């Protein structure tokens, strides 16, 4: 598929959207509420998503990916449509590609790519992205996890938290940022290291009891003398922090796409309910108090979608070797992530209000979307971090 630096989707993208929508409605929507109640990570459905080609949309054909028939915009379309019926499966796809596949694809050696990508791209396995720690979230430079080179092996000690796709039965590897030394100016040297699942000393701890995203796989990780080959260094030594920041730029747009799916779901549910719910002799959609709120959902949806796909088009234009600059893309990614995610949180509040007391009941999907939305403002860079990045992009010396 090809795209331009504009936000308009091509006919091929829209056809692809319809195919993903059909899959999501048939394979995910009927089960999402039960998975949420059971905190169940549906491996079989994740692998069917892989069979549909959703994990390979940004990968070359040599690893089983879509090659020229896919692009970053296609990934955002898929995330939006999956997230429209279930945010847990939406984040599973987003993290598996953006945080699992892309770092290996972008920074890995030929051998690392051959080892890990075929199964990841096919959706037979998933990979995690170990950046956040108990004392290092937005301040990733405060990383305490250490990796020491001994006898041709990295010995990793430390802990990570809030890591998606890190402890499922199909998790194959986690890329971990660790201190591998000190720079001449005293700052820590941070590198990225691939730690396979099953490595002695590497433990995916008990999964979190989360507010939302109940069907996604999220664990704290611990490393106690975990040994991996020296060749498991991902990218250049000392460049781990920069590599993961670059990874997060793409991830912000993908999270914005997940937020767009959330807003679309809120609009869909609110429109249906407002036409069915009867009060004072007519549907509640006749009341301005309800109708105006639903109109606001429509505005937020269009604005969020346009910002998101504009940023995605910029990313694709960069891949083609022309178009947007990295600076322009980073700014567009931060703007899309900030606006779409904050709009999604607002959209779920509006939708819940439209449903009234029923919106507070777990039997209605709106309650699940309400719980799922908040983390969109936190993951892959908080709203505060996005505002900081946007301000810096405008030339303001903000700290």
The CA distances from residue 74 to 1, 11, 57, 91, in Å, are 8, 12, 7, 15
The CA distances from residue 104 to 243, 282, 395, in Å, are 10, 57, 33
| Among the listed residues 262, 216, 267, the one whose alpha carbon sits nearest the alpha carbon of residue 377 | 262
The residue assigned the tokens 């490595």 is 199
Burial class (CB in 10 A: 0-12, 13-18, 19+), 184: exposed
Q: What is the DSSP letter of 8?
A: P
> DSSP string of 122-171?
HTSSEEEEE--BTTBSS-GGG---EEEEETTEEEEEEEEEEEETSSSTTE
CA–CA separation, 91 and 373 (whole Å)? 11
The CA distances from residue 398 to 385, 390, 393, 394, in Å, are 11, 10, 10, 10
CA–CA separation, 253 and 275 (whole Å)? 33
Options 27, 133, 377, 380, the catalytic residue: 380
Q: Return phi, psi of residue 235, to 5°.
A: 75, -160
Buried b (16+ CB within 10 A) or exposed e, 139-161: ebeebebbbeeeeebbbbbbbbb
Contacts of 99 (CB under 8 A, 6+ apart): 127, 128, 129, 164, 165, 247, 251
The CA distances from residue 275 to 186, 268, 341, in Å, are 63, 11, 27
To the query of whether residue 61 is one of the catalytic residues in this protein, the response is: no
* Residues known to be catalytic: 380
């Amino acid at each position: 598929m090809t795209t331009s630096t504009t936000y308009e989707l091509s006919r091929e993208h829209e056809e692809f959207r319809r195919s993903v929508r059909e899959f999501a409605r048939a394979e995910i929507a009927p089960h999402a509420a039960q998975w949420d109640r059971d905190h169940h990570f549906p491996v079989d459905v994740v692998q069917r998503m892989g069979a549909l080609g959703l994990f390979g949309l940004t990968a070359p054909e040599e690893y089983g990916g879509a090659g020229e028939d896919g692009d970053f915009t296609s990934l955002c379309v898929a995330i939006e449509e999956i997230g429209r019926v279930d945010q847990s499966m939406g984040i599973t796809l987003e993290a598996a590609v953006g945080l699992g596949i892309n770092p290996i694809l972008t920074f890995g050696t030929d051998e690392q790519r051959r080892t890990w990508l075929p199964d990841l791209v096919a959706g037979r396995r998933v990979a995690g992205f170990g950046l956040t720690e108990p004392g290092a979230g937005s301040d990733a430079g405060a990383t305490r996890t250490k990796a020491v080179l001994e006898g041709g092996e990295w010995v990793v000690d430390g802990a990570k938290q809030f890591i998606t796709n890190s402890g499922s039965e199909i998790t194959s590897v986690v890329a971990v940022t660790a201190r591998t030394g000190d720079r001449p100016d005293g700052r820590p040297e941070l590198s990225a290291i691939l730690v396979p699942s099953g490595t002695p000393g590497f433990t995916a701890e008990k999964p979190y009891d989360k507010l939302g995203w109940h069907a996604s796989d999220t664990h704290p990780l611990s490393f106690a003398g975990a040994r991996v080959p020296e060749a498991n260094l991902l990218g250049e030594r000392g460049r781990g922090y920069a590599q993961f920041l670059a990874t997060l730029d793409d991830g912000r747009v993908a999270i914005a796409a997940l937020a767009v799916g959330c807003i679309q779901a809120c609009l869909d549910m609110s429109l249906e309910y407002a036409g069915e719910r009867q009060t004072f002799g007519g549907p509640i959609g006749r009341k301005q108090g309800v109708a105006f709120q639903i109109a606001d959902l429509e505005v937020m949806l269009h604005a969020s979608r346009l910002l998101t796909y504009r940023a995605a088009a910029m990313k694709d234009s960069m891949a083609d070797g022309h178009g947007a600059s990295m600076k322009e893309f980073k700014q567009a990614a931060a703007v899309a992530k900030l606006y779409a995610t904050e709009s999604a949180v607002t959209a779920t509040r509006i939708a819940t209000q439209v449903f009234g007391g029923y919106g507070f009941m777990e039997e209605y999907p709106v309650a699940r979307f309400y719980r799922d939305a908040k983390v969109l403002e936190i993951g892959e860079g908080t709203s505060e971090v996005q505002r900081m990045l946007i301000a810096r992009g405008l030339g303001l010396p903000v700290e």
